[in-house]
Amino acid sequence: MFELIIFLLGLAVGSFLNVCAYRLPAGESVVSPPSRCRACGVRLGPVDLIPVLSYILRRGRCRSCGAAFSARYALVEFATGALFVWCFFVFGIGPSLVKALVLTSFLVVITLIDFDHQLIYDKVLIWLAGAGVAINLSFAYLPLWGSSVVLPVGPLDMLLGGLLGGGLLLAIIVVTRGGMGGGDLKFAAALGLWFGWQQTLLALFLAFLAGGFGGGALLLLRIRKRKDLIPFGPFIAIGAFVTLLYGPDLVAWYVRHFLGR
């Protein structure tokens, strides 16, 4: 029962994230005007806005002009629902799940925008950083229950995490003379506020690992060419999501097997 509720919530949030990914790069409000068909401008009705199901019922086309809608809208909605359920299976019901769902939502919208435009917007990162600080500070006053918990991150750990995340990518940018963008740097710094320094190291390690495999796959599948820019934000998001779900276990495993503690 809870799985279905979480999945439906994810579908609804995914629909909103689609709006954010389309409107923010265009400099438009994510609240108004109401959603419309890009081809004919007709306002979408309630049935048109049902996540995933509306795409299936309308066969991916506008009811007014018949213009095709991108299948990505439905895929993002479904994927967000699936990610939300994954978080639920790991954390159960409780504050840790709220933290996981909020961060996951940010990761999805940042991934979509960066993949499309090779940009990570400051306005999104400011909200990401602010949400991380607010949630971590609130954990000091909330009971943590559920099948698992996100480890609390104190003010000093948040500061160290932000400095470490931003500092590492700044060093890479300097050494490679612009091999990465300033948005990646600020994204890593914002994640440091969520994770603290230890798990920020893990998230970035996983990001570079994912980037190596993912970048190679994009080239092999000819989705990107060798001279094309491959956005690194989606790979940072992958590293952050894995760290969110399994970070404490992975850090404990590393310490136990490689540091002998």
**What would the pLDDT profile of 114-173 be if each residue is shown by its tens digit?**
999 999 999 999 999 999 999 999 887 666 655 566 667 889 999 999 999 999 999 988
Residues of the chain with pLDDT under 50: none
Residue 31: the pLDDT is 81
Read off the DSSP letter of residue 155.
Answer: H
What is the spatial distance between Cα 153 and Cα 92, in angstroms, rounded to a whole number? 20
Contacts of 260 (CB under 8 A, 6+ apart): none
Got the DSSP string for 100-130?
HHHHHHHHHHHHHHHHHHS---HHHHHHHHH
pLDDT for 103 equals 97
Q: Tell me the backbone φ, ψ of residue 127, rounded to 5 degrees.
A: -65, -40
* pLDDT value at residue 41: 65
What's the pLDDT at 260?
A: 61
Its pTM surpasses 0.75: yes
For residue 28, the model assigns a pLDDT of: 86
Q: What is the pLDDT of residue 151?
A: 67
**In the chain, which residue ranges form alpha helices assigned H by DSSP?**
2-23, 53-57, 72-91, 95-117, 122-138, 155-176, 182-220, 233-258
**Beta-carbon-side half-sphere exposure of residue 219 (alpha carbons within 13 Å):** 13
What's residue 147's pLDDT? 59
The pLDDT, as a whole number, for residue 128 is: 97
d(CA 84, CA 100): 8
Q: Is residue 173 left, alpha or beta, with left meaning phi > 0 and alpha meaning psi from -120 to 50?
A: alpha
